[in-house]
Amino acid sequence: MITLTVDKRQQRELERAIEGTRKKLPQEVANAVNKTASKLRTKVSVLVRQEIAISAADVKRIIKTRRRATRTNTSSVLQLDHEKRPGIGGRHKRFSPRQTRAGTSYRISKKGPRETAIGAFMGPRPGKLAPKLHGGVFVRKDLGNPRSKIRKLYGVSPWAVYIKQRMDPLVKTLGAVELRIQVDSRIRTILKNKRLS
């Protein structure tokens, strides 16, 4: 969980910039914080997707802005939700499974090759999905017995990658830098508008 708050020095600079304008400091601070939260959400998605083969939409779906900044509370909270290990395949087609004659191939790590689960299946044959499996990938516990129980194959959740790679300190640093950029951008825009008016 990352909390974004403008520090006192940034507030003073922004306050000096809005002197003589109709703009209100709390609203300007809230605008900068919310823009930072939006940018940071994308940066976290990029960091996670450097590690695992997953779509941006799948990562962003679990990165939530728990609290947006307002005029009365000028801090924002960004949180990566804990998620159970996602199945390979499924309706989101996570980890790009492909049915082959040998089994099902998939790719979890961005730093490694595709893997093949021998005997795994998504349907009765390559190119054909079984509707009742909902796009998931399964394998029999006993490959030699066609009537043995099946188990689902799972990948890695974005939350687990974030924790295992210890991304928290880096994301906090990126958040502080981005917040500085957004406050400076607000100051430049306000000063430019003051000169033009």
pLDDT of residue 165: 92
Q: Assess whether 67 and 109 both reside in one domain.
A: no
64 and 126 share one domain:
no
Same-domain status, 120 and 59: no
Closest CA relative to residue 61, chosen from 73, 44, 36: 44
Whether residues 57 and 143 share a domain: the answer is: no
pTM for the full model?
A: 0.82
Query: DSSP code of 133?
Result: G
Which residue, chain included where needed, has tokens 């499974």?
97
Looking at residue 87, its amino acid is G
Contact 48, 161 (CB under 8 A): yes
169 in the same domain as 124: no
* Judgement on whether residues 69 and 135 belong to the same structural domain of the protein: no
At residue 132, the pLDDT reads 87
Tell me what pLDDT residue 74 has.
84
* Number of domains forming the structure of the chain: 2
Can you list the residues of the chain whose pLDDT is less than 50? none
Nearest residue to 49 via CA among 112, 2, 110: 110
Query: Do residue 54 and residue 112 come from a single domain?
Result: no
Pairing of strands 2-5, 75-80: antiparallel
Contacts of 32 (CB under 8 A, 6+ apart): 6, 14, 179, 182, 183, 185, 186
**Running DSSP on this structure, what letter comes out for residue 132?**
G
In the prediction, which pLDDT does 161 show?
92
Clarify whether residues 75 and 14 are in a common domain: yes
Q: Is 104 helix (H, G, I), strand (E, B) or coil?
A: strand
- Same domain for 72 and 114: no
Same domain, 138 and 189: no
| Domain limits for position 96 | 86-155
- Do 135 and 119 reside in the same domain of the chain? yes
Angle between helices 25-49 and 168-196 (to 10 degrees): 140
**Are the beta carbons of 23 and 14 closer than 8 angstroms?**
no
Angle at 134 between CA 145 and CA 126, to 5 degrees: 60
Q: Are residues 77 and 90 part of one domain? A: no
Q: Given 140, 155, 170, which residue is the final one in a domain?
A: 155
